[in-house]
Amino acid sequence: MISYPIQVLFEAEYRYASYFLSRLKAINDVYTEYNERAELALAELSSEWAQINNAYQWALINKHDSRAAQMCAQFPIMGHMILTHRQPLSEHLEWLKNGLTAARRLHDTSLIIELLNSLGMVYLHQQNNQEALSVSHEALDLLNQDDGDKQLFGSVLNTL
């Protein structure tokens, strides 16, 4: 049996997770940009779900590494629209909250704002208006401090 150094295994797992993060983004893009191909995108997500979920779980488990933490934060963002149709709401919220924790650890203001905004939308969908307001106000505060992205600013205001 061949024994590989831990760093070699980590790099291989990182590449695997990166690939499936990019697949999730591509599937989400098809889902959001082409109405006539939405069913195809959902079918593609179903066929690749086990690998995408494994890649996310790897990123979550390895979030002590900054690249894995970045990936953990990006999974719920890259697949936000299609994941709302694939995941139970509780699982989708868990991915968003885990991503937010990772983004905060990285001090990545842009990712924090995107995740807060996504959380706000999910809370609104749940009719949890108090939580939606809370995370949306936090996102607005960060946008004001950071002189952030005008499009994201509009999206957060729309959530409010």
For 84, the token pair is 């709302």
Are the beta carbons of 151 and 110 closer than 8 angstroms? Answer: no
Phi first, then psi, for residue 49 (nearest 5°) are -60, -45
If one counts every other C-beta atom within 10 angstroms of the C-beta of residue 36, the result is 6
pTM (predicted TM-score): 0.87
Amino acid of residue 15:
R
List average pLDDT for each run of 10 residues in the chain, which is 160 residues long. Answer: 79 98 98 92 97 98 98 97 92 97 96 95 91 92 72 56
Place of tokens 């990006």: 74
Handedness of CA 104, 110, 117, 134 (dihedral sign): positive
d(CA 42, CA 51): 15
> In this predicted structure, what is the pLDDT of residue 155?
58
Place of tokens 């509009």: 154
> In this predicted structure, what is the pLDDT of residue 145?
81
Place of tokens 């002189």: 147
If one counts every other C-beta atom within 10 angstroms of the C-beta of residue 157, the result is 13
If one counts every other C-beta atom within 10 angstroms of the C-beta of residue 158, the result is 11
